[in-house]
Structure 1
Amino acid sequence: MTPIRHNHSDADAVLDAARDCVLAVGVRRTTLTDVARRAGVSRMTLYRRWPDVRTLVGDLMTREWIGLAVDAMPDQEPGTPTRERIVDGLVTGVAAFRAHPLFHKIIDVDPELLLPYILDRRGASQEALLELITGGLTEGHADGSVRRFHPDRQARSLLLVVQSFALSLRTMTEEDDPELADAAFLDELRTILERTLAP
């Protein structure tokens, strides 16, 4: 699984500004004018690439979530089974996603923004995550550490599992200490992934 790295660009500066605006006031109260002012660019520069705030926030979420996933994946080390890297990366990624301030803001203020990606269609970030997972599974099939199955379907199944833990975990926790509850459920996620991927 080769990490995907992007150079900081003008688009990144706009996305940084959008992130700051969303964290400050939420998606519904963010305007392209606010983002343009914060990024130091003209409104027309934004309109040429992003016709509305939702499109801009969609690109922001894609950048943030893929960055989390790539950073969560352990470096490849000689002798380490690919299955171990996949499981570690997915569990670490779920934990990082749940701790991300942008995720918290969207869930608290604009949760309907996520509904299309849960109920209706895959988004760009999900497509990129599937590509990342599929590459790892193919490596795991080759080294014998991952149960052989159709890699695309296997990747989709894994993403369905980790999405449910990432997005819905708080609906299943009742403990007084949320951090302790999260840790216990992430341990269970690790067990589920390990057992479903074992040959």
Structure 2
Amino acid sequence: MTPIRHNSSGSDAVLDAVRDCVLAVGVRRTTLTDVARRAGVSRMTLYRRWPDVRTLVGDLMTREWVAVATRAIPEHRPGAHARGLLVDGLVAGVDSFRAHPLFRKIVDVDPELLLPYVLDRRGASQTALLELLADGLKEGHADGSVRAGHPERQARSLLLIVQSFTLSLRTMTDEDDPELDSAAFLTELRSILERTLTP
């Protein structure tokens, strides 16, 4: 994924337009012409800023995924330690990602779009998520609620865990069995994270 380079309201309108196109027809069938029409801009304006649909979708995914992660971070509560907030945020984040309409559409229609970020390289949204995780871990180190360790390595390990739950959970669930439904696995994720982070 490419970093978001254009944070103006015009860029937001374009990203909103590409989101609408992807939700309607998927990434492969989305064209820059369709996006330009929905955004009310010329194709040349788009081509100057985004060379192709994949680059545009990369910026959209970065915007959407970082927003999901940021919303999942709980507000500090009196007496709450950083580990609890981090675990709450990660579990809520997995649940929110899995429910996000854009994520669901990509997984259902264009899953190959996610493969490079699972198998080959880190994307801009993953880098942003790692920064959020490292900050939370450092707070946990400072208040003693997270076991000592290299915060960047710990952040990468946590991201590997939650990515797996986000991307693959539906392959393991049986929604007809309360012991194997999504909620049961999110409880299991909480336990894994607590045990991983507790000093």
TM-score tier by shorter-chain length is: over 0.9
Separation in 1 of the partners of 2:145 and 2:187? 20
Counterpart residue identity of residue 27, structure 2: V
Separation in 1 of the partners of 2:118 and 2:32? 26
1:80-103 alpha-carbon deviations (Å, 9 max, x no partner): 100010000000000000001111
The answer to whether the aligner puts 1:186 opposite 2:186 as a matched pair is: yes
The residue aligned with 1:163 is 163
Moved over 4 A (4+): none
Q: Is the 8 A contact 2:175 2:182 kept in 1?
A: no
The residue aligned with 1:102 is 102
The residue aligned with 1:89 is 89
The residue aligned with 2:3 is none
User: How far has the Cα of 1:10 moved from its partner?
Assistant: 1.1
Separation in 1 of the partners of 2:157 and 2:67? 21
Separation in 2 of the partners of 1:21 and 1:91? 29
Separation in 1 of the partners of 2:9 and 2:154? 35
Separation in 2 of the partners of 1:196 and 1:109? 34
The answer to whether the aligner puts 1:17 opposite 2:17 as a matched pair is: yes
Query: Number of paired residues?
Result: 193
Q: Which runs of 5+ in 2 are unaligned?
A: 1-6
User: How far has the Cα of 1:77 moved from its partner?
Assistant: 2.3
1:19-73 alpha-carbon deviations (Å, 9 max, x no partner): 0000000000000010011011111111111100000001111111100000000
Counterpart residue identity of residue 75, structure 1: E
Q: SS state of the match for residue 48, structure 1?
A: helix
The residue aligned with 1:130 is 130
Separation in 1 of the partners of 2:144 and 2:89? 18
The residue aligned with 2:172 is 172
The residue aligned with 1:39 is 39
Separation in 1 of the partners of 2:34 and 2:145? 50
Counterpart residue identity of residue 140, structure 2: G
Kindly, what percent of the aligned residue pairs are identical? 79
- 8-17 or 55-64: bigger deviation: 8-17
1:82-135 alpha-carbon deviations (Å, 9 max, x no partner): 001000000000000000111111111100000000000000000000000000
User: How far has the Cα of 1:8 moved from its partner?
Assistant: 6.6
Separation in 1 of the partners of 2:18 and 2:146? 40
User: How far has the Cα of 1:197 moved from its partner?
Assistant: 0.5
User: How far has the Cα of 1:171 moved from its partner?
Assistant: 1.1
